[in-house]
Amino acid sequence: MQPHIVHASAAGARLVFTCEHASPAVPDEYTRLGLADERLQEHIGWDIGAAMVTEELSRRLKAPAVLSAVSRLLVDCNRDLGDHDLIPSASHGVPIPGNAAITPGERVTRLARFYDPFHAAVDAVLDANADALLLSVHSFTPELNGCARPFDIGVLYDDFDELARDFAGRIDACGFSVRLNEPYSALDGLIFSARSHGRRHSQRYLEIEINNRLLRVDANARAVARRLVDAVAPLAESGAAR
């Protein structure tokens, strides 16, 4: 099983997409981490619909995309190596039996097989597209721990306030309800992948979070992506942070 998928374009693209939680797949030798298939298909296993949105935006805007091809329960590509939930023993109250007693050797193996190749692929794409803006694509649950999240899309940012606000305004103009730094705040360090790659390559970066109630049917996810094209396309003019 490949640890990631790259949708390539000609070098010199002005946008690069990543999707760190694109797949619920777990290689056979991990026996679904002790979970039922239905559990892996829930939000704990992946960001529902995010891959479809990423691929549709990549195709329509002719921009490269890097997508993780395995479940974040194996190893989370949107976490720092020191984060406690890099390889979670539980997620949203659900125990992950296959992660209950990870040995140091197994941790190294998972990083080498799934985490490092994904991030190396993102680095390679950014090296080939030095003037691109990096947009990380995610989805979120309509409710978490009893708290409703009654909006469609969140734009997460830390260093690029004006850029994020302009982007959010265009998303609003596309007919979506949008909020800044919700349901998670990048100001709390919660956009690890986008931030680390963007800063390392001196390129601008944002993360978009889409309510997965809009994305649970593939056709609906593609429709959301098509509606977002007019909001996303101008990001290509934002360029590098150099």
Half-sphere exposure of 222 (CA within 13 A, CB side): 6
Structural domain includes residue 242:
no
Parent domain of 187: 4-237
Report the CATH number at residue 161.
Answer: 3.40.630.40
- CA-wise closest residue to 78 among 3, 187, 190: 190
Quick one: pLDDT at residue 145? 82
Structural domain includes residue 128:
yes
Contact in structure between 151 and 208 (CB atoms under 8 Å): no
Quick one: pLDDT at residue 11? 77
Quick one: pLDDT at residue 9? 78
Contact in structure between 45 and 73 (CB atoms under 8 Å): yes
Written as six digits, the tokens of 63 are: 């921009």
> pLDDT (tens digit, 9 = 90+) per residue, 4-52?
899 987 778 999 999 999 999 999 999 999 999 999 999 999 999 999 9
> pLDDT (tens digit, 9 = 90+) per residue, 110-147?
999 999 999 999 999 999 999 999 999 999 999 988 88
Structural domain includes residue 48:
yes
> pLDDT (tens digit, 9 = 90+) per residue, 188-227?
888 999 999 999 999 999 999 999 999 999 999 999 999 9
Give me the number of domains the chain comprises: 1
Question: Mean pLDDT, to the nearest integer, of 163-175?
Answer: 98
Model confidence at 2, pLDDT cuts 50, 70, 90, reads confident
End-to-end CA distance of the chain: 37
Length of the chain: 242
| 239, pLDDT greater than 80 | no
| Calpha distance 78→93 (Å, rounded) | 20
Q: Does the CA dihedral 51-52-57-60 come out positive or negative? A: positive
| Calpha distance 191→25 (Å, rounded) | 22
Mapping DSSP to helix (H, G, I), strand (E, B) and coil, where does residue 134 land? strand
Structural domain includes residue 60:
yes
| 241, pLDDT greater than 80 | no
Pairing of strands 147-148, 133-140: unpaired
Instruction: State pTM to two decimals.
Output: 0.96
| 94, pLDDT greater than 80 | yes
DSSP 145-199: TTEE---SEEEE-SS-HHHHHHHHHHHHHTT--EEES-SS-GGGT--HHHHHHHH
